[in-house]
Amino acid sequence: MRLPTTATGAAIALALALAGCGTAPSDESPTSPRIRAGSPSQSADPSTAPSSRPAEATSSERGVVGTVVHFTAGEVVVEVVIDEDNPTTRSFLAMLPMTLEFSDFGGKEKVATPTGKWDFTDAEGLDPEAGDLFSYMPWGNLGFFYNTEGNTFSNDLTKIGETKDIDRIERLDGQRVTIAVAG
């Protein structure tokens, strides 16, 4: 059966009107190609795509690996190099600067409890080594290992960074320690 010409024309006009109702986001020109999510046959070339971001790279693009953090108690300075870029490390860095009192735990760790909020998303666990800076998920604390004899892998530990100043870690016991990004 054939529809009357006015119904067909009205249907086509409605379809064209609806197709033209969308507006391009402000960072697209009317002539720039539009890539739809879920379209595997098309890909955007980031070198030619317009950008509304400043020319400077954001911290998530630069990453945090290589950031140096100082733990300072009087004359004692423990220098830590961040070597993990994960949500836990980023949440630690977001808490800085801060001052905490460290105490000994089990003759193997110096620990303190920050008041900030940790993000343990996708935490991978840790097989600890002396000099590791870590967070322990169940307690939400921050710590250094200075002796790992008898320790094994734990899913509850998340590595943040490491230090070579292992002899200085032991000197943090009972001290108020200021923690800040160096520089």
Per residue in 42-79, pLDDT tens?
333 333 344 344 444 444 556 899 999 999 999 999 99
Q: How big is the CA angle at 37 (ends 31 and 41), to the nearest 5 degrees?
A: 80
pLDDT confidence bin for 125, thresholds 50/70/90: very high
Which residue ranges form the domains of the chain, and what is each CATH number?
61-181 (2.40.100.20)
Over 60: is that where the pLDDT of 7 sits?
A: no
How far is the C-alpha of 82 from the C-alpha of 133, rounded, in Å? 9
State the pLDDT at residue 182. Answer: 97
The radius of gyration computed from the CA coordinates of the chain, to the nearest angstrom, equals 27
| Per-residue confidence (pLDDT) for residue 42, from 0 to 100 | 36
Whole-model pTM?
Answer: 0.67
| Predicted pLDDT of residue 114 | 97
Q: Is 80 exceeded by the pLDDT of residue 19? A: no
